[in-house]
Amino acid sequence: MGHGWEGVVLKLMRGRDFTFTVTGAEQVTEDFRRVHMKDGGLLAATGGAHPTMWVRIWFEEAGKPHQRAYTLVDPDPAAGTFSLEFALHDGAASNWARTAQPGDTIDATLQGTGFTLPEPGPARLFVVGDAASLPAINSLLDAIPQTPATIWFETTHASDEKLPFRLDPAHHTLHKVPRREAGAHLVAEVKAALPGLLGDVPSDAYVWIACDTATTRSLSAYARKDLAVPKDHVTALGYWRAT
């Protein structure tokens, strides 16, 4: 399958192409699936993995190629393996994940995945996400496990209660927030709590947000403009668009 105009653009932006091979899959919940992969040389070519590292995976829909970004889960550079996790819904990516079998292959492009925590490391971590960004959330918690973290996690399905969070009760506090009013309920919950948790020195904190595009935009602007968190201490990624 060719990658169409999106592939041309990524190639011009120095994207590197790889082919991944499925080695297995597991149904984590009825709405969340993990697919295990051989990396096609990606981790060797990049010198390993960094927290929240992601790739663009190519899927076919109505005869046309479409790319979606997915975080590498438990990358093992020595073995050349990792997993991808899919919050299942309607769409080409979820349809592919539901039926993925050992030996299946899929194309991927590595482009635009850089991520560096501020130095010195943050004294406190604040995370806002949902099932789509759970792999990146866990990757971030794994990277700085001793940093006190507060996580607001938007839930959509009853099965979200069974999702695999990598929490250390000594350092991490998780708040599950049901999705209501197209994300407005989550925005209100974070705005009500974050100022009191942030303390007097916003630059000591790091705020990481990855929800639907509108929610992400609203909360990132709030953190930077209203709470004066420095721009380089806020990472905001719109993972999906509400319809």
Other CB atoms within 10 A of residue 213 CB? 15
**What superfamily would CATH give domain 4-110?**
Translation factors (2.40.30.10)
Span of 7-21, 48-62, 114-128, 183-197 with lowest mean pLDDT? 7-21
Write the CATH number of the domain with boundaries 124-236.
3.40.50.80
Find the mean pLDDT for residues 106-131.
87
Question: Tokens 């990358």 — which residue?
Answer: 75
Q: What is the dihedral sign for C-alpha 229, 197, 201, 204? A: negative
Q: How far apart are CA 218 and CA 190, in angstroms?
A: 11
What does the pLDDT look like over 15-54, one tens digit per residue? 689 999 999 999 999 999 999 999 999 999 988 888 999 9
Q: Is 124 exposed, middle or buried (0-12, 13-18, 19+ CB in 10 A)?
A: middle
More confident residue, 216 or 5: 216
Q: How far apart are CA 175 and CA 13, in angstroms?
A: 38
pLDDT of residue 13: 42
Q: How far apart are CA 195 and CA 135, in angstroms?
A: 26
pLDDT of residue 212: 95
pLDDT of residue 5: 45
Structure tokens at 52: 């929240």
Indicate the pTM of the whole model: 0.89
Give the SS3 label for residue 194. helix
Q: Round to the nearest angstrom and report the end-to-end CA distance of the chain.
A: 28
Does the pLDDT of residue 12 top 50, yes or no?
Answer: no
The strand pairing partners of 68, in sequence order, are 57
Q: How far apart are CA 159 and CA 155, in angstroms?
A: 9
Q: Are strands 81-87 and 149-155 parallel, antiparallel or unpaired?
A: unpaired
Q: Where are the domains of the chain?
A: 4-110, 124-236
**Residues 37/83, Cβ–Cβ less than 8 Å:** yes
Give the SS3 label for residue 33. strand
pLDDT of residue 103: 98
Give the SS3 label for residue 22. strand
